[in-house]
Structure 1
Amino acid sequence: MASGVAELIASIDAVADPEAAAILTRFFQVKPGGYGEGDRMIGVKLSTIRALIKPYVRAGWPLPELERALASPIHEHRLAILALLAERAIRAAKPRTADPDESRALYELYLRNTRFVNNWDLVDCSAAPVVGGYLEHRPRDVLRTLVASPDRWERRIALVATHWFIRRGESADIYDLAARVLTDREDLIHKAAGWMLREAGKRVDADELLGFLDANAARMPRTMLRYSIEHLPADVRARYLAARRGC
């Protein structure tokens, strides 16, 4: 590992907290049968990690070095590398600092390493800028491939990636993808889909969300429905919940 990356990893290890690790281990279900089974927590919060990576965002470390670090068995190491990749992706997408080659390289690195993006916090801090940012002006067929994956984290990556589009006024992709996971058995997928639907209704077009709910509320997973209607008026929420109960 290169000295700069090693320095970052060492700074994370230096603030490890065993008591916090025990809490995070439970929170992220790092237990036999849990969705985070087999992971290792050392007890460093994302807010702390964001502060630690800040001096390195413009360091320009070679991507192969970051890719090697992403294979760490320590959750917080992977979280730091993904947060750093996300910051670089945001910078590569800005008009004043645009770097299409960097954007593509980050995207390709990410997709060949999804096995290390294996918990919801890892997905949520990185999928929108790295995947969504690259695909903003490109075909998005890969999202349909990811959302059909047997891997829950790849399905969540597809859904969360649409946040990039939603924040820029585009909502077609999330409605298409959400329809494809109506029968998904994973609560973490229901949460991600509902979250993105809520954001689409809030940021793009409330009537479009209502149209989707009119067509699908009765068969939506309960968690997805509750997340998606969270910002709607109380009477509207009640109507959709009643439709769900009456199915």
Structure 2
Amino acid sequence: MPEDGRGAAADQAAQILSELCAGADEAERIRIRRRLPEGLEALGVRMREVFDLAARWEKRLESPRGLVPELLRCPDYERRMVGVSILDFRARRRLDQGQREELADLYLDHHDQLSVWDLVDRAAPRVVGRYLMEGLGPEARRKLLEELADSADPMRRRTAVTATFWMVRQGELDDALHLAARLAGETSERVSQPVGTALREVGKIDQERLVAFLREHGERLQRVTVRYAVARLPQPVREEFVPPRRR
């Protein structure tokens, strides 16, 4: 990025910081800080205010390519959340595939800054998942998802899984089931929980495929994955995989 463009983005990021600090609360800062990794600061702003601010800024931007990377490099959680929220709000618009690719690239190129699970969840379905489904063929889409799913970084693995949420909502179940099988031995709850969520959403569309998947792979899945996966199944079917507790 040209120096003057980076300077403008830095000025905008500073303005966003000022707007966030105006709504900061110490009790909220302490609450948020408890769940953040070491080195990431919290300002103490409630998420509704963060999302409202992001929506206002997204409407002002001709393109997010300058501001969003600047926000994702910020030392505080809230400005990073503004950054991914701007991507999410932009992805809800009518865009051509070049524009969707730009959003996905902004997200993936700065993935190291997405060190908290909800930064991933805020944007991965619409920004990554929609681009992959509408912009790539099945083989290219599967390859990128597998690369993310095989990463040593659990947040990248979480991106792979949550990106399939968009696909499942459109009735495309194959990638979600493929990744769930690939990540069946996952030990990080940051990944095994959304795998269960993806399976649950598959079951809303095709209960028989979900049940068949659980019968084939259930023994390898984490308990949390199975609990989430069966949450919407009829009780007799659910109890096949999660027996009721004895009183």
TM-score tier (shorter) = 0.7 to 0.9
Question: Paired residue for 2:75?
Answer: 73
Residue 4 (structure 1) shift: 4.3
Q: Cα deviations across residues 144-165 of structure 1 (Å, max 9, x unaligned)?
A: 0000000010000000000110
Residue 216 (structure 1) shift: 1.4
Q: Cα deviations across residues 124-183 of structure 1 (Å, max 9, x unaligned)?
A: 101011111111131311110000000010000000000110111111111000111111
Residue 14 (structure 1) shift: 1.5
CA contact (8 A) 1:190 1:223 kept: yes
| 1:175 alignment partner, one of 174, 177, 181 | 177
Q: Which segment is superposed worse, 120-129 or 53-62?
A: 53-62
CA contact (8 A) 2:64 2:87 kept: no
CA contact (8 A) 2:64 2:86 kept: no
SS at match of 2:144: helix
CA contact (8 A) 1:128 1:160 kept: yes
Question: Paired residue for 1:238?
Answer: 239
Question: Paired residue for 2:84?
Answer: 82
Specify every segment of 5 or more residues in structure 1 that has no aligned partner in the other structure, as ranges.
31-35, 92-96, 243-247
Residue 99 (structure 1) shift: 2.4
Residue 42 (structure 1) shift: 1.4
Question: Paired residue for 1:120?
Answer: 117
Question: Paired residue for 1:160?
Answer: 162
Aligned mates of 2:100, 2:151 — CA distance in 1: 23
Residue 65 (structure 1) shift: 2.6
Query: Residues 103 and 38 from structure 1, CA distance in 2 versus in 1: closer, same or farther, beyond 3 angstroms?
Result: same
Aligned mates of 2:90, 2:13 — CA distance in 1: 15
Paired residues for 1:198-237 under 5 Å: 198-202=200-204, 204-237=205-238
1:108 aligns to 2:105 (yes or no): yes
Question: Paired residue for 2:46?
Answer: 45
CA contact (8 A) 2:185 2:222 kept: yes
- TM-score of the two chains, using structure 2 as the length reference: 0.88
Residue 187 (structure 1) shift: 1.1
Specify every segment of 5 or more residues in structure 2 that has no aligned partner in the other structure, as ranges.
1-7
Aligned mates of 1:157, 1:70 — CA distance in 2: 16
Q: Cα deviations across residues 56-88 of structure 1 (Å, max 9, x unaligned)?
A: 222224512321221111001100110111111
Give aligned-pair identity as a percent. 32
1:131 aligns to 2:128 (yes or no): yes
Letter in 1 for 2:201: E
- The CA RMSD measured in Å over matched residues stands at 1.7
Aligned mates of 1:233, 1:45 — CA distance in 2: 37
Letter in 2 for 1:113: H
Aligned mates of 2:206, 2:225 — CA distance in 1: 18
Question: Paired residue for 1:54?
Answer: 55
Letter in 2 for 1:66: V
Question: Paired residue for 1:190?
Answer: 192
- TM-score of the two chains, using structure 1 as the length reference: 0.88
Query: Residues 121 and 158 from structure 1, CA distance in 2 versus in 1: closer, same or farther, beyond 3 angstroms?
Result: same
Residue 11 (structure 1) shift: 1.3
1:12 aligns to 2:20 (yes or no): yes
CA contact (8 A) 1:18 1:43 kept: yes
CA contact (8 A) 1:8 1:53 kept: no
Aligned mates of 1:146, 1:217 — CA distance in 2: 23
Q: Cα deviations across residues 95-139 of structure 1 (Å, max 9, x unaligned)?
A: xx3222221111111111100111111001010111111111313
CA contact (8 A) 2:12 2:67 kept: no
Question: Paired residue for 2:4?
Answer: none
Residue 210 (structure 1) shift: 0.9
